[in-house]
């Protein structure tokens, strides 16, 4: 997965945020986060659906049985991070929205409608995916 992510990140940065192939026509967000145990800085490419001026990304990991580690990194982080969108690198406030919370159905619905693979991911697991809201800090 690391090699795949590295290729996506390189293509994103070389083309002002535009990535082809499976992601063609969709907005990608490069999420910067720090490993909660290692302290290592990471960049993770994610499909980002719009919600007003915020972006919604999903901890689906293709329907794996557990959340990806980046979700815990964000959840246990400072509540702020940096993302890359197109040629912009805004600072954002992070909110992890878990299933069962009041806004989860709405935000998951936005993300799943934007990313058609969501239905396939849902078939791979009984787990409901957390959504991370990334709101620009003025």
Residue 51 has phi, psi (to 5 degrees) of: -145, 90
Residue 21 predicted with pLDDT over 80: yes
CATH code: domain 2-136 is 2.30.110.10
Angle at 59 between CA 63 and CA 81, to 5 degrees: 160
For residues 22-26, average pLDDT: 95
The Cα 11–Cα 95 span in angstroms is: 28
Q: How confident is the model at residue 71 (pLDDT cuts 50, 70, 90)?
A: very high
Which residue is it, tokens 């299933």?
Answer: 99
What does the pLDDT read at residue 2?
75
Spans of all domains in the chain: 2-136
Q: What is the dihedral of CA 41, 44, 49, 54, to 10 degrees?
A: 10
Please, is 114 exposed, middle or buried when counting C-beta atoms within 10 Å of its C-beta (0-12, 13-18, 19+)? middle
Residue 1 predicted with pLDDT over 90: no
Residue 58 predicted with pLDDT over 80: yes
Q: How do residues 76-112 score in pLDDT, each as one tens digit?
A: 999 999 999 999 999 999 999 999 999 999 999 999 9
**Tokens standing for residue 48:** 């980002």
What does the pLDDT read at residue 125?
95
DSSP character at residue 9: H
CA 127, distance to chain mean position in Å, is 17
The Cα 94–Cα 79 span in angstroms is: 5
For residues 5-20, average pLDDT: 97
Q: How do residues 105-132 score in pLDDT, each as one tens digit?
A: 999 999 999 999 999 999 999 999 999 9
């Amino acid at each position: 997965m690391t090699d795949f992510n590295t290729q996506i990140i390189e293509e994103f940065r070389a083309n002002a945020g535009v990535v082809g192939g499976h992601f063609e026509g969709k907005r990608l967000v490069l999420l910067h986060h720090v490993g909660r145990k290692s302290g290592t800085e990471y960049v993770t490419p994610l499909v980002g659906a719009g919600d007003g001026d915020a972006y919604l990304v999903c901890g689906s990991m293709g329907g794996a049985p557990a959340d990806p580690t980046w979700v815990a990194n964000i959840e246990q982080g400072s509540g702020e991070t940096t993302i890359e969108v197109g040629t912009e690198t805004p600072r954002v406030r992070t909110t992890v929205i878990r299933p069962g919370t009041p806004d989860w159905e709405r935000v998951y619905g936005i993300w799943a409608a934007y990313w058609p693979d969501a239905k396939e991911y849902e078939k791979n697991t009984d787990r409901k995916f957390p959504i991370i809201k990334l709101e620009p800090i003025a």
